[in-house]
Amino acid sequence: MSESRVHNQFKLTSEDHVEAVGEEVTLPCHLSPDTSAVAMTIRWFKRTECIYLYKNGQVTERSGYEGRVSLITQELERGNVSLRLIDFRRSDRGVYICQVIHGEQKEEAAVGLRVRRVSESGSWYLQHETQEDKLKREASAGELELKMEKELKEILREKMMKQLKEKLDDMTQEVREKERLLDDMTQEVREKERLLEEKNQIMEQREKLLEEKDNQLEEKDKQLKERDIQLEALRKNLQDKNSQVENFRVLLQEKDLQLEDRNHRLGEKDRLLEERQTTKGK
């Protein structure tokens, strides 16, 4: 069994080598004690080449291994970071290194993959790995991380583009809805303008009628004033006539008095004449 070189909060355990049988093989690697690896960075190398990267829940695979390598994600919670390799090829033989990073801690374990015949073990490889090979592995992992970043950026860009398109579609739909409402309002305004025009025409007709009525009233006022003048003249004439009648009445009273006085005189004369005639007859 191969163990990690450094023991801190956790360590990695693996097998020195596994033998490929068929088209699928699992390269074993576990955290000890059992610790969840969900939030850790997991790198798998074939010698100096990083072929698989798990980081922040995202996965990136090197060209040639895409769709062929994977973690058993449901086992990460129990510290199982084994790599499953499918579509096995003879060129897949060799040493594989599992590297787990959590904060400042970095642990490594290696496993050799062979086909029937014995090949170098993982523990032997780690013990004899040169500093140059280590640097190559780190550079290869950096390349895969850059690929992951590019893929994440592309995913993010596609997500943003999708959100932008959805937002644009929503805005387009909103604009269309507002255009429809604007059309309805425009139609309503036109209908109100038409009704207002009709009412204005009715108002103009009424104003015209009112103007005619005012003219008629002015004419009637003029006629009434003329009649008032005529009535005033008639009233004065009537007053004059009344004055004349009163004068005639006074004159008639005077004539009546004179007539009464004359009648009285005549009566006296008649009486005296009658007395004289009576005297002569005796």
What would the pLDDT profile of 173-198 be if each residue is shown by its tens digit?
A: 988 999 999 888 989 999 999 999 99
How many angstroms separate the CA atoms of 110 and 121, rounded? Answer: 8
pLDDT in tens, 245-270: 888 888 888 888 888 888 888 888 88
Q: Let me know: does 4 contact 106? Beta carbons within 8 Å.
A: no
Instruction: Fill in the amino acid letter for 48.
Output: T
Whether this prediction's pTM lies above 0.85 is answered by no
Average pLDDT over residues 141-168: 85
pLDDT in tens, 31-63: 999 999 999 999 999 989 999 999 999 999 999
How many angstroms separate the CA atoms of 70 and 26, rounded? Answer: 10
Q: Let me know: does 153 contact 138? Beta carbons within 8 Å.
A: no
* Coil, helix or strand at residue 199: helix
How many angstroms separate the CA atoms of 62 and 55, rounded? Answer: 14
How many other β-carbons are positioned within 10 Å of the β-carbon of residue 120? 16
Neighbour order of strands in the sheet with 24-27? 24-27, 83-86, 69-71
Q: Let me know: does 34 contact 9? Beta carbons within 8 Å.
A: no
Q: Which residue intervals of 99-130 are DSSP H helices?
A: 122-128
DSSP 205: H
Instruction: Fill in the amino acid letter for 201.
Output: Q
Residue linked to tokens 């062929």: 68
In this predicted structure, what is the pLDDT of residue 251? 85
In this predicted structure, what is the pLDDT of residue 119? 52
Neighbour order of strands in the sheet with 29-32? 2-3, 11-14, 29-32
